[in-house]
Amino acid sequence: MQGLVHGGNLGSLLQSQIIARVVATVDALPRHSMGSTNILPLRTPKGAVQTAQANGATVISAGNAERYAPYMTVLADVDPHALVAWYKHNYPLFQQAYRELGYPRGYFNDRLVVAIDDMLVAPDGQGQAAVVRSGAHYHFVDPQLQSLSNGQKLMIRLGPQNEQQFKAKLRMIRELLAGGQVGH
């Protein structure tokens, strides 16, 4: 990448931009509102939310989990040890992006652990949850599900099998993060 721009470091610029978006997304996961959808480091899954009718209600269909297949393939291929090593190596960039987001005294690693812990406590097995369409988006009919954080709602939309795989990977990452002090 460095050869694409004379006298510049395109790789570093792109990496810092991606890290800034990852930091903003991680910060938003335990919240109840995403704020800007421009913060997401990845594109949202292709296609509309897949729904079905069950007992007179619109529910997230089992087929909706297929929308996440490309992300789940990447997740399955990610080596948690390599990911955490890369994260620790680049932690100063994550911390800088976190400060620029408006947290001059906090540590991004603490926020990352909060986000991981929040997603890990998402209710299990909520596939086929009842939803209602409101404009361009679906909302959960159950007020308890609708009141969940962004990260917990994501877990439900993934589908039960994807959720189990994602949580297993998050547990490994969480354990590796806890095994070594980062950023303090």
Identify whether 41 is part of a domain.
yes
Q: What is the pLDDT of residue 32?
A: 86
Residue 184, domain member (yes or no): no
**Residues in CB range of 57: below 8 A, 6 or more apart:** 130, 141
More confident residue, 77 or 49: 77
- Flag whether 72 is in a domain: yes
CA dihedral 115, 183, 174, 93 (to 10 degrees): 70
State what percent of residues in the chain have pLDDT above 70. Answer: 83
Overall average pLDDT of the 121-143 stretch:
88
Residue 122: other Cβ atoms inside 10 A:
20
Q: Is residue 183 part of a domain?
A: no
State mean pLDDT over 132-154: 92
- Of 40, 13, 44, nearest to 157 by C-alpha is 44
> pLDDT band at 95, cuts 50/70/90?
very high
CA 162 to chain centre: 13
Q: Is residue 40 situated within a structural domain? A: yes
Residue 137 forms part of a structural domain:
yes
- pLDDT tens digits for range 31-71: 987 665 555 555 678 888 889 999 899 999 989 999 999 99
Domain interval for residue 31:
2-178
Residue 12 has pLDDT above 90, yes or no: no
Contact 22, 41 (CB under 8 A): yes
Q: What pLDDT score does 66 carry?
A: 92
What does pLDDT average to over the chain? 86
Rounded to two decimals, the pTM is 0.85
Asked, for residue 117, whether it belongs to a domain, the answer is: yes
Report the number of distinct structural domains present in the chain: 1
Determine the Cα–Cα distance for residues 157 and 85; give it in Å rounded to an integer: 29
